[in-house]
């Protein structure tokens, strides 16, 4: 709670500074709303009702990541895609029903998001230990945190107490999840609309220090963009032809694809970002300075990434009696 209070305090200072500048923007209001929502979550939420929760998630994740390191990355992305669509409410985990088309088939998610079965397996263990108590949304938040730490990144205290949505929306997912073609101005605006700053955006994109992308997503950048190192583009084209091979994977951070480190930012400075949206962070714009900072200062990156994950993870949670504690993460009760 202390951390939450400190962040609210910081956010209020921001509001005051903005007001004194006569700049009361929608962004400020949204970040205040995000902060108020965050205040309803608490790291100790399950201390008495499910004392073994964090140990169960941690040991499952250790096993999963040992078996397939990329899964740490996949669960981190799953959490991001959950939070950006109506808040972190596990809506992304819902399967389609005859009356609802959910988020799994949204443009950015279909044939791409991974890790649903990992959350199912952890949920089964958690249900056995603490029936009808822990939300799928909280399990996903903890799994994402543990995945990052297991790959060598920072760890942080996760505020808990989110409840699960009863519905999901493919339309909201298509509207709110950033496409890879976005420029920096669009990315900044999308994150600002969620109460997240340019600093949060730049730190959170550091998640691309792990995991992989499909040729369909990096082809436009390596074939058409000017701000690409020519040797890097040639290398990527060898496995990603101009047509076909859409599903062929390349590491988002070729230097150390399973290590959560700062080489993503070093690659950006060498114009070796894999995605158009990645290289937008270092293209002569306002994020350049942060990229430079993170490229040489792992401590600053880890600190900012962890803080941004807590902020992102606290966006518009369902709390109290809103939503439900799903029994099966794929279906509303
Ligand atoms: C800022 C806008 C972002 C865009 C446009 C974007 C786009 C993408 C794309 C296109 C992929 C590859 C998907 C595929 O080819 O199947 C990807 C992968 C990934 N993204 Fe992002 N992303 C963004 C931000 C983030 C954020 C904020 C996080 C987490 C905090 C994140 C975490 C990841 C991870 C870990 C992977 C690798 C997943 C895996 O290997 O399974 N991304 N992203």
Question: If you measure from the C-alpha of residue 279 to the centroid of ligand 1, how many angstroms do you get, rounded to a whole number?
Answer: 13
Domain boundary among 156, 180, 204: 180
Asked if residue 207 belongs to a domain, the reply is yes
**Are 174 and 60 in the same domain?**
yes
208 lines ligand 1 (CB under 6 A): yes
Query: CATH number of the domain that 116 lies in?
Result: 1.10.520.10
**Are 141 and 163 in the same domain?**
yes
**Are 24 and 89 in the same domain?**
no
Asked if residue 333 belongs to a domain, the reply is no
Is residue 132 within 8 A of residue 324, CB to CB? The reply is no
148 lines ligand 1 (CB under 6 A): no
Domain boundary among 125, 146, 180: 180
**Contacts of 241-250 spanning 24+ positions with Cβ under 8 A:** 241/215, 245/215, 246/214, 246/215, 246/216, 246/219, 247/111, 247/214, 247/215, 247/216, 248/214, 248/215, 249/212, 249/213, 249/214, 249/215, 250/212, 250/213, 250/215, 250/218, 250/274
Atom of ligand 1 nearest to the CA of 214: 15
Q: Whose CA is nearest to atom 34 of ligand 1?
A: 77
Atom of ligand 1 nearest to the CA of 115: 41
Sign, Cα dihedral of 173, 177, 179, 180: negative
**Are 282 and 266 in the same domain?**
yes
pLDDT (0 to 100) of residue 39: 54
Atom of ligand 1 nearest to the CA of 73: 35
**Are 228 and 300 in the same domain?**
yes
169 lines ligand 1 (CB under 6 A): no
Q: Give the 3-state DSSP-derived string for 125-174, with helices as H, strands as E and coil as C.
A: HHHHHCCCCCCHHHHHHHHHHHHHHHCCCCCCCCCECCEECCCCCHHHHH
**Are 189 and 250 in the same domain?**
yes
Instruction: Out of 197, 208, 214, give the residue to mutate to test ligand 1, the one with the largest number of ligand atoms within 8 Å of its CB.
Output: 208
**Are 142 and 235 in the same domain?**
no
207 lines ligand 1 (CB under 6 A): yes
Is residue 164 within 8 A of residue 90, CB to CB? The reply is yes
Asked if residue 221 belongs to a domain, the reply is yes
**Are 143 and 217 in the same domain?**
no
Question: If you measure from the C-alpha of residue 208 to the centroid of ligand 1, how many angstroms do you get, rounded to a whole number?
Answer: 6
Per-residue pLDDT of the chain (333 residues; tens, 9 = 90+): 333 333 333 333 333 333 334 333 444 444 444 445 555 899 999 999 999 999 999 999 999 999 999 999 999 999 999 999 999 999 999 999 999 999 999 999 999 999 999 999 999 999 999 999 999 999 999 999 999 999 999 999 999 999 999 999 999 999 999 999 999 999 999 999 999 999 999 999 999 999 999 999 999 999 999 999 999 999 999 999 999 999 999 999 999 999 999 999 999 999 999 999 999 999 999 999 999 999 999 999 999 999 999 999 999 999 999 999 999 999 999
Question: If you measure from the C-alpha of residue 180 to the centroid of ligand 1, how many angstroms do you get, rounded to a whole number?
Answer: 9
Closest residue by Cα to residue 60 from 2, 130, 142: 142
Question: If you measure from the C-alpha of residue 105 to the centroid of ligand 1, how many angstroms do you get, rounded to a whole number?
Answer: 16
**Are 85 and 152 in the same domain?**
yes
**Are 288 and 173 in the same domain?**
no
**In Å, what is the CA distance from 41 to each residue of 3, 24, 36, 38, 47?**
11, 26, 10, 5, 13
Asked if residue 321 belongs to a domain, the reply is no
**In Å, what is the CA distance from 203 to each residue of 11, 52, 103, 297?**
18, 31, 25, 12
Asked if residue 169 belongs to a domain, the reply is yes
Question: If you measure from the C-alpha of residue 330 to the centroid of ligand 1, how many angstroms do you get, rounded to a whole number?
Answer: 22
Residue 81 annotated as catalytic: yes
Closest residue by Cα to residue 138 from 324, 331, 333: 324
Is residue 93 within 8 A of residue 82, CB to CB? The reply is yes
The Cα 232–Cα 23 span in angstroms is 43
Q: Whose CA is nearest to atom 20 of ligand 1?
A: 77
Question: If you measure from the C-alpha of residue 152 to the centroid of ligand 1, how many angstroms do you get, rounded to a whole number?
Answer: 18
Asked if residue 144 belongs to a domain, the reply is yes
**In Å, what is the CA distance from 175 to each residue of 27, 281, 292?**
18, 22, 31
Annotated catalytic residue within 81, 208, 221, 276:
81
**Are 68 and 29 in the same domain?**
no
Where in the sequence is the domain holding 105, given as residue range(s)? 53-180
**Are 217 and 107 in the same domain?**
no
pLDDT (0 to 100) of residue 10: 32
Cα 53-54-59 angle, rounded to 5 deg: 105
Q: How many domains does the chain have?
A: 3
Residue 292: Cβ within 10 Å count: 14
Asked if residue 318 belongs to a domain, the reply is no
The Cα 145–Cα 148 span in angstroms is 5
Instruction: Out of 68, 76, 77, give the residue to mutate to test ligand 1, the one with the largest number of ligand atoms within 8 Å of its CB.
Output: 77
70 lines ligand 1 (CB under 6 A): yes
Query: CATH number of the domain that 294 lies in?
Result: 1.10.420.10
Q: Whose CA is nearest to atom 40 of ligand 1?
A: 211
Residue 84: partners with Cβ closer than 8 Å, 6 or more residues away:
176, 177, 178, 194, 312, 315
Asked if residue 85 belongs to a domain, the reply is yes
């Amino acid at each position: 709670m202390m951390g939450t209070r400190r962040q609210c305090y910081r956010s209020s200072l921001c509001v005051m500074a903005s007001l004194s500048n006569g700049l009361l923007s929608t962004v400020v209001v949204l970040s205040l709303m995000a902060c108020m929502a965050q205040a309803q979550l608490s790291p100790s939420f399950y201390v008495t009702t499910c004392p073994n929760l964090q140990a169960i998630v941690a040991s499952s994740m250790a096993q999963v990541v040992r078996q397939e390191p990329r899964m740490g990355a996949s669960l981190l992305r799953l959490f991001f895609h959950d939070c950006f669509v109506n808040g972190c409410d596990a809506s992304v985990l819902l399967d389609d029903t005859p009356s609802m088309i959910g988020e799994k088939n949204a443009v950015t998610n279909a044939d791409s998001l991974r890790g649903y079965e990992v959350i199912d397996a952890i949920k089964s263990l958690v249900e056995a230990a603490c029936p009808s108590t822990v939300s799928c949304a909280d399990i996903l938040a903890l799994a994402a945190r543990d995945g990052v730490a297991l790959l060598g990144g920072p760890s942080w205290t996760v505020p808990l107490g989110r409840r699960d949505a009863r519905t999901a929306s493919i339309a909201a997912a298509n509207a709110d999840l950033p496409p890879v073609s976005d420029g920096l101005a669009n990315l900044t605006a999308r994150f600002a609309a969620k109460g997240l700053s340019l600093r949060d955006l730049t730190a959170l994109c550091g998640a691309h220090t792990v995991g992989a992308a499909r040729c369909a997503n990096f082809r436009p950048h390596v074939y058409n963009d000017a701000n690409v190192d020519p040797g890097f583009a040639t290398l990527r084209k060898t496995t990603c032809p101009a047509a076909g091979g859409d599903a062929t994977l390349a590491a988002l951070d070729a230097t150390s694809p399973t290590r959560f480190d700062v080489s993503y930012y070093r690659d950006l400075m060498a114009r070796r970002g894999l995605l158009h949206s990645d290289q937008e962070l270092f293209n002569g714009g306002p994020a350049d300075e942060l990229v430079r900072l993170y490229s040489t200062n792992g401590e600053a990156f880890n600190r900012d990434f962890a803080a941004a994950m807590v902020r992102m993870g606290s966006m518009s949670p369902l709390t109290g009696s809103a939503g439900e504690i799903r029994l099966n993460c794929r279906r509303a009760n």
